[in-house]
């Protein structure tokens, strides 16, 4: 069956669909020996030879769904040219290739899903209120109520308008802890938001993905999602 290349690449557990589009545009994907750079291109996984960086796609027989409590000092990528540690270094005993769903930056910590199921990843990573993500952030100084209101209504960062979000104060001290719930995940979004109002983020931790929380999971530890958790995520519909 003919399917879009980015979907096939994500189904093979290489990366998310969004990252797959970048690989295609960069000319790193070939079909039957010919480089393909158009995002609308399709292929048949059963008949065509599809390669990424010269390696043929292999489609996993078993779908893997993991929840990791990412510590600071790890990259949400499969490899790093500078040799820095990545989140997959923490997955001891997992032989299947999985990729992170979304990103937490090097200095951030908290819950991160990893999988080799591209369709599952697409649902989780898609913007919309079907799968909000909640973070705890410690910021410098005390933001004024009107400044926080500006953030919740959706400000422009890097020339793009952000979706509205929810912010509440958890610990009201000189450098307060705030709870922030987003329905989209732009690159370094929370840090850039608070930089805009002059209160930079000191610490940042993701504590919830959609319905999923796990306060017992220690930094650096991971677990497989329970079948009922996977099923519940799969019932989500982006845009709803």
Check which CATH number belongs to the domain holding 69 and give it.
3.30.70.580
Check which CATH number belongs to the domain holding 178 and give it.
3.30.70.1560
pLDDT at 23 over 60: yes
* Mean per-residue pLDDT, 170-176: 90
Check which CATH number belongs to the domain holding 42 and give it.
3.10.290.10
Domain that holds residue 41: 2-56
CA angle 41, 43, 48 (to 5 degrees): 140
Are 120 and 221 part of one and the same domain?
yes
Would you call 38 helix, strand, or coil by DSSP? coil
**Residue at 240 is within a domain:** no
Question: What is the C-alpha separation between 32 and 36, in angstroms, rounded?
Answer: 10
Q: What is the largest CA-CA distance in the chain?
A: 62
% of the chain exceeding 70 in pLDDT: 99
pLDDT at 12 over 80: yes
**Taking Cα atoms as reference points, which of 228, 175, 173, 219 lies closest to residue 73?**
219
Are 49 and 94 part of one and the same domain?
no
Predicted confidence at residue 79, as pLDDT, reads 81
Question: What is the C-alpha separation between 120 and 225, in angstroms, rounded?
Answer: 12
Complete DSSP assignment for 138-189: EESS---HHHHHHHHH--EETTEEPPP-EEEEEE-SSS-EEEEEESS--TTH
Predicted confidence at residue 238, as pLDDT, reads 82
Predicted confidence at residue 78, as pLDDT, reads 81
Q: 94-129 pLDDT, tens per residue?
A: 988 899 998 899 999 999 999 998 889 989 988 899
Predicted confidence at residue 239, as pLDDT, reads 65
Are 145 and 202 part of one and the same domain?
yes
Are 194 and 229 part of one and the same domain?
no
Identified catalytic residue from 105, 129, 146, 195 = 105
pTM above 0.75, yes or no: yes
Positive or negative torsion for Cα 197, 76, 59, 235: negative
Would you call 3 helix, strand, or coil by DSSP? strand
Calculate the average pLDDT of the chain: 92
Would you call 1 helix, strand, or coil by DSSP? coil
Measured CA to CA in angstroms, residue 101 lies from 9, 19, 41, 67, 237 at distances of 14, 11, 24, 10, 16
Q: Which helix (H) or strand (E) holds 43?
A: strand 42-44
Question: What is the C-alpha separation between 196 and 190, in angstroms, rounded?
Answer: 10
* Mean per-residue pLDDT, 37-54: 90
Are 145 and 186 part of one and the same domain?
yes
* Mean per-residue pLDDT, 74-102: 90
Predicted confidence at residue 10, as pLDDT, reads 83
Predicted confidence at residue 158, as pLDDT, reads 87
* Mean per-residue pLDDT, 185-194: 92
The answer to whether 105 is a known catalytic residue is yes
Identify the top-confidence range among 39-53, 175-189, 204-218.
204-218
Are 37 and 89 part of one and the same domain?
no
Domain count, the chain: 3
* Mean per-residue pLDDT, 179-203: 94
């Amino acid at each position: 069956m003919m399917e879009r290349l980015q979907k096939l690449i994500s189904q093979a557990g290489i990366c998310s669909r969004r990252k797959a589009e970048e690989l295609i545009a960069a000319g790193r994907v070939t079909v039957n020996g010919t480089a393909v750079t158009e995002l609308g291109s399709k292929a048949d996984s059963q008949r065509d030879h599809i390669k990424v960086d010269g390696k043929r796609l292999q489609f996993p027989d078993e779908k893997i769904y993991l929840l990791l409590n990412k510590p600071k000092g790890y990259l949400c990528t499969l490899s790093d040219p500078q040799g820095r540690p990545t989140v997959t270094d923490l997955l001891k005993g997992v032989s299947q290739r999985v990729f992170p769903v979304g990103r937490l930056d090097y200095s951030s910590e908290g819950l991160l899903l990893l999988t080799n199921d591209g369709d599952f990843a697409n649902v989780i990573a898609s913007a919309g209120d079907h799968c909000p993500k909640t973070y705890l952030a410690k910021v410098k100084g005390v933001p004024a109520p009107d400044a926080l209101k500006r953030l919740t209504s959706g400000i422009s960062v890097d020339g793009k308008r952000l979706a509205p979000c929810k912010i509440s104060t958890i610990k009201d001290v000189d450098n307060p802890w705030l709870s922030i719930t987003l329905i989209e995940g732009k690159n370094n979004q929370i840090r850039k938001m608070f930089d805009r109002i002059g209160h930079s983020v000191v610490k940042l931790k993701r504590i919830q993905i959609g319905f999923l929380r796990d306060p017992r999971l220690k930094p650096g530890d991971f677990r497989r999602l329970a079948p009922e958790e996977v099923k519940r995520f799969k019932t989500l519909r982006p845009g709803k």
